[in-house]
Amino acid sequence: MTVSTCVVLLACACGPQKPEGDESPAAQPAQPTRAAQPGKTSATPSPSSPAGKPSATPAGSQPVPRTKEGAIQRYEQFLRAVGREDITTVCEVAGPAAKQAEDQGFGPCTSTFLVTFRAIPPARKKALRTATVDPRRVTVVTSGKVEIPTAAIRASVTFTEDEFSSGTLEYLKNTWYITD
């Protein structure tokens, strides 16, 4: 088995589901920042410094920029969390997609992703821990929605669509979430 279990979880969450109280502002600063994730410690360097060290700065209430770069940073956070088996971060970033999969009978994110973690070979997990995203391959659908194809994932191994599906991220509640 491979990362395909992850594909099943994310693929089952067809279409966006916005969490209650979507308060995304109409416009955000156009320049990327290294804002920490709410309630999390950022372990993801910005896309421009893929070899950067994790930040030890505790998360605050700063929003993630509503930019392509902000979405890439968030998706890299997700990829690396999968590689580290960080269930808390994975379920937080993939919250809307995981909730939809749970509503369709797949169970809660915290238990379904544990199965996913066991299915990923160690070499692939290691590759995900340092994975980056090629910004040239990311498609901005709207100012609050981006598509990140599997081909945009840069890692020491090549991932296929069968192993790791493309990601749709939407800007909800001042940050990016995987919604499909």
Tens-digit pLDDT profile for residues 37-92: 333 333 333 333 333 333 333 344 467 899 999 999 999 999 999 999 999 999 99
What is the rounded (10 degree) CA torsion for 69, 73, 75, 76? 130
- Per-residue model confidence as pLDDT tens digits over 140-161: 999 999 999 999 999 999 999 9
**Contacts of residue 56, Cβ cutoff 8 Å, sequence gap at least 6:** 41
pLDDT for position 40: 35
What is the dihedral sign for C-alpha 10, 142, 43, 22?
Answer: negative
- Per-residue model confidence as pLDDT tens digits over 43-53: 333 333 333 33
Mapped onto helix, strand or coil, the DSSP state of residue 164 is: coil
pLDDT for position 62: 64
Please state, rounded to an integer, the average pLDDT across all residues of the chain: 74
| pLDDT at residue 104 tops 50 | yes
pTM assigned to the model = 0.68
**Contacts of residue 100, Cβ cutoff 8 Å, sequence gap at least 6:** 12, 13, 14, 15, 17
